[in-house]
Amino acid sequence: MGAGGGSDSEPRISFYGGKRASAVPLAFFIVWAVFQSGVLGIGDTNGLVIGALIGTILGMFLVRGDWKAYADTIFEGMTQRVAATAIVAWLWAGMFAQTLQVGGFVEGLIFAADALNVGAATFPAAAFVLCGLLATGIGTGYGATVAFVTLFFPAGVLIGADPTLLFAAILSGAVFGDNLAPVSDTTIVSAVTQNADIGGVVASRFKYAIVAAVPAFVAYLVMGSLLSGASLEGVAALRDTATPAGLAHLVSMGVVIVTAVAGRHIVEAISWGLVVAVGFNLALGLSSVREILVFTVTEPGPFTALPFVAVGDATGVGGSLYAGAIGFFPLIVLTLLIVSMAQIMIRGGGFDAILEFLLNAVATTVRRAEVTMVLGTAAINGMITINTAAEIAIAPYVARIGEKFNINGYRRANVLDANTSALGYIFPWAGGVLVGYQVMVGPNGLGTKYGPEMVVNPIEVVPYVFHGWFLVIVFLAAAVTGFGREYVPDRPSEEVSRA
Amino acid sequence: MSALEKLLAGWSFRSSTPDFEPGEVLEVMVTGREGGEAVARVGDSTLRIEGAPDDAVDARVLVAVETWDASTHRGTGTYRRTVGESAF
């Protein structure tokens, strides 16, 4: 974050109730988020924005004296570079992801499954790998879950794969991509809040991801054999949507990953990926120009002959570039509010008070510090089920506790992201599970279309999200054993380039 | 550092008490003060830093290691310059 700092000066804001009261905005927001997403099961980011706004207003009433310092701190928080860096990366990632979606990437993966002659027993393992690939390409586990539950899940169930295991395998793939993809919102937040470059974080994260993914793949093969049922007419349904040319986007995805890991700025890496993806879409006929960018007008005119201008019922701008960037707007607003609430807590002294307690009473050795970081991220992600919001809230603690033991930025980013990615797709109230469940039970959902066997109870999925559980176990083991641990002097993380 | 080196970095079980050699120049985060002198805790090892400015705590600095006792995992070093700051 750089410009922040909880220890560079005395608290500038004084609260009725002392330093603890500076946590009221963030605490109110967390309670709101738990009630909205955990208790009521509403995964609406815009709802969290309102919770953050009300929490920020409530905190102001507790300020002693002039409220101007409080208001100034809101701006101070919002203008920190950590928020701006994440926002820029999200906008680019959103455009890229949506362009892959309209370019038939999912349909390409379905072709691969068909070509590999995947049967009922191996369908869950294949779903894990292919959904993992999609999520790594598009960076959003939620998007990958929706795409796979819509297209892949019914075909698998019709072939005879166990619905619960198949849904869990799709969620596991989403965990893998959310955790590892350079264009993933959680990857971006984990890197920029720990002052580490995104490509370096992805490279350092690979070892944990693969150590968890290999046994998860084996587990899906074994459980797939044990739980598979009778084959129905699924292969035909699968073939209907298969588009081999969509596999070209494996190259688009590879361009982003290789360029980012090679050390280029994430904006540059995604821009190259975007150019390649648009090129494939147009050259291979995977999408029209209008699916990528379209200006819609209500009356024909001299410009309607252009390939990116259309006539419709209402004026507007659309296409994958537009929808991809717009899709991140609610999260961007929420992020600005969360970092401003965190800054209020820093300036009010509450952040240092909690940090001091953790460092003096809990995180007294490097091993205990890492276990504290792992369990802290798990606890906050268990409560706030929109995982990026949870990650932003806990990030300052992971940074400061880790820095007190000179744990380097890559390791801190990896600890921060593991539980954020995993638990967001395990618990029945988690956002990742709910978006997939919504595809099954929503209006015109799979349940309505195919019958009740296409609806999976989210509670039953919990034990089978193998990659998620293995990732949690790998990080707990890594904290205790020192596997993958790196200190600042071992390899100072490269500064996040913001030029 | 090449992309391959980045991928292969950290594939090991790292000690909670890392040791250093006299003459090494390290980049470390200054984590606190002991007896008025800046210290950097690296894992559960401790490096005392002579000559660090008063505001060095929570800053990243370059330190030249002068002495190191591998049995107690403690040593001393000399402040060179400040190269960065805390992430938060």
A342-369 burial: b if 16+ Cβ within 10 Å, else e? bbbbbbbbbbbbbbeebbeeebeebbbb
**Residue B79: which domain range?**
21-85
Cα distance between residue A461 and residue A440, in whole Å = 14
Strand ordering across the sheet containing B32-34: B25-29, B59-69, B74-85, B45-50, B37-42, B32-34
Q: Is the ipTM of this complex over 0.90?
A: yes
Q: Helix, strand, or coil here: A309? A: strand
Candidates A4, A207, A492; nearest CB to B10: A207
Q: Does B13 score more than 80 pLDDT?
A: yes
- Who's near A386: CB < 8 A, 6+ residues apart? A33, A37, A43, A45, A48, A424, A431
pLDDT at A149 over 50: yes
* Cross-chain residue pair B84–A4, CB shorter than 8 Å: no
B39 in Cβ contact with B30 (< 8 Å) = yes
B37 bridge partner residues:
B34
Work out the pLDDT band at A7, boundaries 50, 70, 90.
very low
Could you tell me if A4 lies within 8 Å of chain B, comparing CB atoms? yes
Mean pLDDT score, A290-312: 94
Q: What is the pLDDT of residue A3?
A: 34
CA dihedral A384, A389, A392, A398 (to 10 degrees): 20
Angstroms from A106 CA to nearest CA on chain B: 28
Do the beta carbons of residue A287 and residue A294 sit within 8 Å? no
Domain assignment of residue B46, yes or no: yes
Q: Is residue B61 part of a domain?
A: yes
Give tens-digit pLDDT for A451-471.
Answer: 888 888 888 899 999 999 999
Torsion-angle region of A162 (φ positive above 0: left; ψ -120 to 50: alpha; else: beta): beta
Tens digits of per-residue pLDDT, A72-81?
999 988 887 7
pLDDT tens track for A242-292: 889 999 999 998 898 888 777 677 788 889 999 999 999 999 999 999 999
State pLDDT tens for residues A8-41.
Answer: 455 589 999 999 899 999 899 888 888 887 788 7
With respect to residue B54, please indicate whether it lies within any of the assigned structural domains: yes
Residue B30 lies in a domain: yes
CA distances from residue A272 to A146, A264, A277, A280, A493 in whole angstroms, order as listed = 26, 11, 9, 12, 24
Of all residues in chain B, the one with the smallest CA distance to A264 is B3
- CATH number, domain of B46, equals 2.40.50.140
Residue with tokens 């005392």: B48
Give domain status of residue B15, yes or no.
Answer: no
- Which range of A142-151, A439-448, A476-485, B79-88 scores highest in mean pLDDT? It is A476-485
Helix axes A329-347, A68-78, angle to 10 degrees: 130
Question: How much is the average pLDDT of A39-50?
Answer: 82
- Indicate yes or no: CB of B88 within 8 angstroms of CB of A199: no
On whether any CB of chain A is under 8 Å from the CB of B41, the answer is: yes
Considering the domain boundaries, does residue B1 fall inside one?
no
Q: Hey, are the CB atoms on A400 and B86 less than 8 Å from each other? A: yes
Q: How far does A343 lie from chain B, in Å, by closest CA? A: 10
Q: Are residues B88 and A206, on separate chains, in Cβ contact within 8 Å?
A: no
Which amino acid would we find at residue B84? G
Number of structural domains found in chain B: 1
Q: Which residue has the higher pLDDT, A58 or B7?
A: A58
* Window from A178-187, A466-475, A477-486, B63-72 with minimum mean pLDDT: A178-187
Q: Tell me whether residue B3 is in a domain.
A: no
Contact B88 A399 (CB under 8 A): yes
